[in-house]
């Protein structure tokens, strides 16, 4: 096992898909999204530790899918929490103490490139905290309450993806903080702890599959 670990958080219920099957289990070109996500990280590093965080009531179905698709890749399974923060906290408890770098990734982002993953882990080894981002290509307007809205310079903004990768000790220490609603992702937890987060280029294909349109796009990308 290398000193790199990835926590893959998959807690979606698939409500925006309009079906009963959670979106991370939906097949894309014959393979469930979550399996594609795990495969991508093992493609980057076949020895890295994979920690999969799933709601307890979805784990039996996941195990059935693993049997159905003969999915035998190594991973550690643990229970999801009340929020993403608590799910990651549960995942951290399963990460090997030998890990020096820990990433956190959305289970429904199966198209992150190996190059993006490598960039994140390489930069985290230097700066301690990194997120992949893409440029904003559409015009952005900011709402001003009852006063309407105004255009903001899109060059000052970036869209955040995962994996977000951190020095292991830093991430563990940051997650010792009490939970607040401010914590929207792992970078926000680390920033609240007082550590600056670096940015690296992500890849546009690294979409988060949350809607029926995303699923159609996923079929094209796979």
Q: DSSP letter string over 5-42?
A: EEEEE-----GGGTSSS-GGG-EETTEEHHHHHHHHHH
Q: Measure CA 79 to chain center.
A: 16
Task: Find the length of the chain.
Answer: 222
CATH number, position 181: 3.90.550.10
Map residue 118 onto helix, strand or coil. helix
- Res. 21: pLDDT tops 60: yes
Q: What is the mean pLDDT of residues 55-65?
A: 95
Q: pLDDT tens across 116-171, in order?
A: 999 999 999 999 999 999 999 999 999 987 778 999 999 999 999 999 999 999 99
pLDDT of residue 94: 98
* Domain interval for residue 74: 4-221
pLDDT of residue 16: 47
């Amino acid at each position: 096992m290398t000193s790199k670990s990835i926590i893959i958080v998959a807690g979606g219920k698939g409500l925006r898909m309009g079906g009963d099957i959670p979106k991370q289990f939906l097949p894309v070109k014959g393979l469930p999204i979550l399996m594609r996500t795990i495969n991508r990280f093992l493609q980057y590093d076949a020895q890295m530790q994979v920690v999969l965080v799933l709601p307890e009531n979805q784990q039996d179905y996941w195990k059935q899918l693993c049997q159905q698709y003969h999915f035998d890749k190594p991973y550690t399974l643990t229970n999801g929490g009340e929020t993403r923060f608590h799910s990651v906290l549960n995942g951290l408890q399963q990460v090997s103490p030998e890990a020096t770098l820990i990433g956190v990734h959305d289970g429904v982002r199966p198209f992150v490139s190996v190059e993006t993953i490598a960039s994140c882990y390489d930069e985290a080894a230097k700066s301690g905290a990194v997120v992949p981002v893409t440029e904003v290509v559409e015009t952005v307007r900011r709402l001003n309450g009852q006063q309407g809205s105004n255009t903001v310079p899109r060059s000052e903004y970036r869209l955040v993806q995962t994996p977000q990768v951190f020095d292991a000790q830093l991430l563990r220490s940051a997650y010792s903080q009490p939970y607040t609603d401010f914590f929207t992702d792992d970078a926000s937890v680390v920033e609240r702890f007082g550590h600056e987060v670096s940015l690296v280029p992500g890849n546009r294909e690294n979409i988060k599959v949350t809607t029926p349109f995303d699923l159609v796009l996923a079929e094209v990308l796979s």
